Amino acid sequence: MHLRVAGVIVLLYAQPLTRVVRLTVDDVVRDGDAVLLRIGEPASPVPAPLASLLLEHIANRGNMGTATNPASRWLLPGRRAGQPFRPDHLSALLNKIGVPATAARGAAAVRQQLLEMPAPVVAEALGYHDKTTTRLRNGTGGAWSRYAPGNHARSPAGWVPRGTGDS
């Protein structure tokens, strides 16, 4: 089950394995009926099929029966005491079952999201640096070059609206 959870997180949220193995059970948030995954800000909603898989995995995590790991908070606990699953080992296992876990595949998923959303929004939602998503967006030919992040509901300091033809 841990391979399915890791594979879906890699493919759906474009997360590198080095980040996936650092997730803890505390990064899975229940908000009423919704399940959220804290990989960026705000936490990302988890679709229903993955939500039930994720919650089932948390209840039945592997490598918890040893004397060294009884209270592990890692989403994917490793065999060594207090350590998460190793990314290189997880990558090899995912590749065996046909899940491309390389950074290039993750970048392809991010590029697809950059065609639909501005780079700063993708960066914040997925926990990427904004320069990384901007570089990837430039490679996609995305049309968000004039997007200005921030709160657009307020007027800038010192700004006075023009009259409506009174002058």
> Do residues 35 and 53 touch, judged by C-beta distance below 8 A?
no
- CB–CB of 37/27 below 8 Å? yes
Reported as a single tens digit per residue, the pLDDT across 18-54 is 999 999 999 999 989 999 999 888 888 898 888 999 9
How far apart are the C-alpha atoms of 83 and 69, rounded to whole Å?
A: 9
Task: Say if residue 160 is exposed, middle or buried (CB neighbours under 10 Å; 0-12, 13-18, 19+).
Answer: exposed
The pLDDT of residue 167? 47
- Name the 3-class secondary structure at 138: helix
Measured CA to CA in angstroms, residue 128 lies from 30, 78, 143 at distances of 23, 25, 19
The two structure tokens encoding residue 122: 């993708």
Q: Which residues contact 110 (CB under 8 A, 6 or more apart)?
A: 14, 122, 126, 128, 133, 136
Contact between 6 and 16 under an 8 Å Cβ cutoff? The reply is no
Among the residue ranges 11-20, 75-84, 101-110, 125-134, the one predicted with the least confidence is 101-110
Quick check: 120 and 130 in contact, CB under 8 A? yes
By mean pLDDT, which of 14-28, 42-56, 83-97, 101-115 is the weakest?
101-115
Lowest mean pLDDT: which of 12-16, 24-28, 122-126?
A: 122-126
pTM, rounded to two decimals: 0.63
